[in-house]
Amino acid sequence: MNPLTFAQSDPNVFQVAAWQAVVFGTIFAAITGVIQLGLGIWRQRKEDKRKRAEIGYGLLDAMFDDELSGQMLYVLDSINLVSYKGSTDRFNPEEFKRALTAGEKASARDEEIQRRLDALLYYFDRFEHAIQAGLTDFDTLKMPPGYYVKLLQEYKPELVAYFDTIGYERVRQFLNRYPEWSDASNSHKR
């Protein structure tokens, strides 16, 4: 018998076992690879979510730590005399409306209110920019700004006119995320 014919007709037992081991190893490696990929994606998403929350909370902290923004928040939140970081003030709705519509005729008091409001709106702009860039999400930033959005909704017509003058497009987008702002009616009074 020809040795080539014998090798082709009766495969070596070791050769068959080696092929089976290669097939099994390939299947096992593929399954392990898919599992590792899934676990890696899961870990990455979890880490990304944690980082987005960290960035969002950092923005919120910065808003409260900023002197002018913090003053605006504290004054908005109280009808009583309020002290914050060396500044004592009282919220006056008529003064606030006048400051928003003063334009070129702004008094020193109007300009002070505008500086504080601009500082707050700067952070609202940063919030929306961070959301749009995927650095954080709205759920992270929803509160406590949502509370202040409810307070500001009473002045929506004046604020919208102020946005148009200044050009706060992302602020408008951020505020529109809140149903309270979107549905704000002019009949609500403080």
Q: What is the pLDDT of residues 58-110, one digit of tens each?
A: 999 999 999 999 989 988 887 656 666 666 677 788 889 999 998 889 999 99
CA 89, 91, 92, 95 torsion-angle sign: positive
Containing structural domain, residue 110: 50-182
Q: Is residue 62 part of a domain?
A: yes
Please check whether residue 41 lies inside any domain of the structure. no
Instruction: Note every long-range contact of 73-77, with CB atoms under 8 Å and residues 24 or more positions apart, other chains counting.
Output: 73/120, 73/148, 75/116, 76/148, 76/151, 76/152, 77/147, 77/148, 77/151
Per-residue confidence band for 187, with pLDDT thresholds at 50, 70 and 90: very low
pLDDT at residue number 98: 92
User: Does some domain include residue 15?
Assistant: no
pLDDT band at 17; cut points 50, 70, 90: confident
- The count of domains in the chain is 1
Backbone angles phi and psi of 167, in degrees to 5: 95, 40
pLDDT by residue (tens digit) across 96-121?
999 999 888 999 999 999 999 999 99
